[in-house]
Amino acid sequence: MNPFVKIRRELHQIPELGFQEFKTQAYLVNYLGTLMQDRFTIKKWKTGLFVKIHGRNPKKTIGYRTDIDGLPIDEETELAFSSTHPEKMHACGHDLHMSIALGVLTFFVENPIDDDLLFIFQPAEEGPGGAQPMLESETMQEWRPDLIIALHIAPEYPVGAIAIREGLLFANTSELFIDLKGKGGHAAYPHQTNDMVIAACSLVTQLQTIVSRNVDPLDSAVITIGKITGGTVQNIIAEKARLEGTIRTLSPESMEKVKRRIGNIVSGIKTSFECEASIDFGSNYYQVYNHPELTREFMKYLRNETSTNVIECKEAMTGEDFGYMLKEIPGFMFWLGVNSPFGLHHAKLTPNESAIEFAIETITKYISYKGNQ
């Protein structure tokens, strides 16, 4: 078995939520302890890591970022190496991301290039967001790379494929939580109450008008309410209701407009239903915008120097906090094909592990090319 497939399986068994990745960090540190210590320097950051590999004659620093957290999902794959943590799973492929990063890192510890390399093992990508605070950390300021690269697995593409595009790849995203409070009471006396189930239903309907009537039809936005809770039993009118959802847009300007309109509509609900209401936009992720020149160079390199199936993909409404790093540092992210019948965040996600070796080989070749220029 490929050693990095074995690592992936071991990491798959210990998924942890954002800023709780203690076992994961310990696993990574333990593995790094098996490598030549004089070739790199490690600095911990909360539950993440910075690992700097020293170049032979550095003129720049190339960054490579991987995320390390799991999701609050009860695994249903029935794999022999399934999660040992109840209701937690690496259902977004971060176990593959880490094993690939360790494979690339190991190669360059053993095969030094001219430039310095900075490997970033980032916690909390799934929330509340580790990229922005990690970007602002003292270590990042000291070791700040000149360019930065990352990948994300893509179940819909075959192994051997890399999908990428210049410019916008992933959307701007925001969580959305709305709490309503009215007056509960007996179901037989609705006139003496203020029903928040009715208010919540009206609010959901009104929120959908934002995309259809306030966003430029040539732009794109999504408002999804994925969860509504309210009330206690069938014969008591609900005093409280809570809506939980997400917002996704293709531009920062549209995100601000959507949030402003949500605020206006919620204010109207407060007035029309004579209730209290509050909005929490939770975690917000900036768009993933690939640096055009670096992306074109990467695509050209893959086509000329490798057998990679390079796919120019469309932008997606998925969110990734790597966008904060790309906002400050030139670079790009790409989709890595893993050919799974189940998609991201699915309890039965089963990526094809042969993508690990392909990714390690492809990325090491490209970084060697960039790091010896």
Task: Given the residues 16, 21, 67, 321, select the one marked as catalytic.
Answer: 67
- pLDDT for residue 176 is more than 90: yes
Query: Which is nearest to 207 in space by CA: 274, 287, 127, 277?
Result: 277
- Residue 207 belongs to what H/E stretch? helix 196-213
Strand partners, 148: 63, 331
Number of other CB atoms surrounding residue 116 within 10 Å:
22
User: Over the stretch 7-36, which tens digit does the pLDDT of each residue have?
Assistant: 999 999 999 999 999 999 999 999 999 999
Extract the tokens encoding 226: 């994925």
Q: What percent of the chain has pLDDT over 90?
A: 98
Gap between the Cα atoms of 208 and 224, Å rounded: 8
Asked whether the whole model's pTM tops 0.95, one would answer no
Task: Given the residues 16, 21, 69, 126, select the one marked as catalytic.
Answer: 126
Query: Which is nearest to 43 in space by CA: 179, 126, 134?
Result: 134
Chain centre distance of CA 289: 14
The verdict on whether 10 is a catalytic residue reads no
User: Over the stretch 263-314, which tens digit does the pLDDT of each residue have?
Assistant: 999 999 999 999 999 999 998 999 999 999 999 999 999 999 999 999 999 9
- pLDDT for residue 173 is more than 90: yes
In order of start, what are the domains of the chain with their CATH numbers?
3-170+287-371 (3.40.630.10), 172-284 (3.30.70.360)
User: Over the stretch 220-256, which tens digit does the pLDDT of each residue have?
Assistant: 999 999 999 999 999 999 999 999 999 999 999 999 9
Average pLDDT over residues 71-80: 98
Strand partners, 180: 241, 277
Average pLDDT over residues 178-196: 97
Query: Which is nearest to 192 in space by CA: 236, 229, 232, 233?
Result: 236
Gap between the Cα atoms of 345 and 61, Å rounded: 33
User: Over the stretch 28-53, which tens digit does the pLDDT of each residue have?
Assistant: 999 999 999 999 999 999 999 999 99
Gap between the Cα atoms of 122 and 131, Å rounded: 7
Task: Identify the three-state secondary structure at position 263.
Answer: helix
User: Over the stretch 319-343, which tens digit does the pLDDT of each residue have?
Assistant: 999 999 999 999 999 999 999 999 9
The verdict on whether 136 is a catalytic residue reads no
Q: What percent of the chain has pLDDT over 70?
A: 100
